[in-house]
Structure 1
Amino acid sequence: MPTTIAGIKEKLDAQVGQKVLVTAQAGRKKVTQRQGILSETYPAIFIVKLNKREGSFDRVSYSYADLLTNNISLTFEEAE
């Protein structure tokens, strides 16, 4: 991942529409993983549209600073 917020946004702009696995720190020694599609990027945040599960959110948003500080990590699925 790039080391600046502008670099991170630029890289994510090129990945819009790709399947992604989001691994987020959920607290002390807790990690959550969510799968979805990178749907939109904005100047300060990006939106991941999640796969449907009962009782879950439709989409989540994260800031580019979350990636920069390693609070979350993204793993993109390779296009076949």
Structure 2
Amino acid sequence: MSKNSLSEIKRSLETHVGAKIMLKANGGRKKTIERTGVLEETYPSVFIVKLDQEQHAFKRVSYSYADILTESVEVTVCNDEGQVKITYIEH
């Protein structure tokens, strides 16, 4: 894993703190978990998402930037019209 790639992902997410995002995460055993919420905070190794309360049992979830790099998590940032703005997938 390249440290530069992780720092680039972190930098990209930092610009969208407070934005509505959609997450697609690998739930194991061929399950995909889809969640929506607001990108609340970025830290040196993880980012925090405050989930929409009516849809989820948990209030917040955290993922590492390595999850995005390894394609375990796909983060899509949406604009006010609900259209996809940016998708982070490292190929």
TM-score by length of 1: 0.90
Instruction: Indicate how the Cα distance of structure 1 residues 71 and 54 shifts in structure 2: closer, same or farther if over 3 A, else same.
Output: closer
Where in structure 2 are the equivalents of 1:41-80 lying within 5 Å? 41-53=42-54, 56-80=57-81
Where in structure 2 are the equivalents of 1:1-80 lying within 5 Å? 4-53=5-54, 56-80=57-81
2:66 match: secondary structure: helix
CA-CA distance at 1:73 after TM superposition: 0.2
Calculate percent identity across the aligned residue pairs. 46
> Which structure 2 segments of 5+ residues have no match?
82-91
> Which structure 1 segments of 5+ residues have no match?
none
Alignment: residue pair count: 78
2:8 match: secondary structure: helix
1:10 match: secondary structure: helix
Deviations 1:2-57 (A, max 9, x none): x7000000000000000000000001210010100000000000000000037600
2:71 match: secondary structure: coil
More relative contact order in 1 or in 2 (CA 8 Å, sep 6+)? 1
CA distance in 2, matches of 1:55, 1:45: 20
Which amino acid is the alignment partner of residue 69 of structure 1?
Answer: T
Which amino acid is the alignment partner of residue 48 of structure 1?
Answer: V
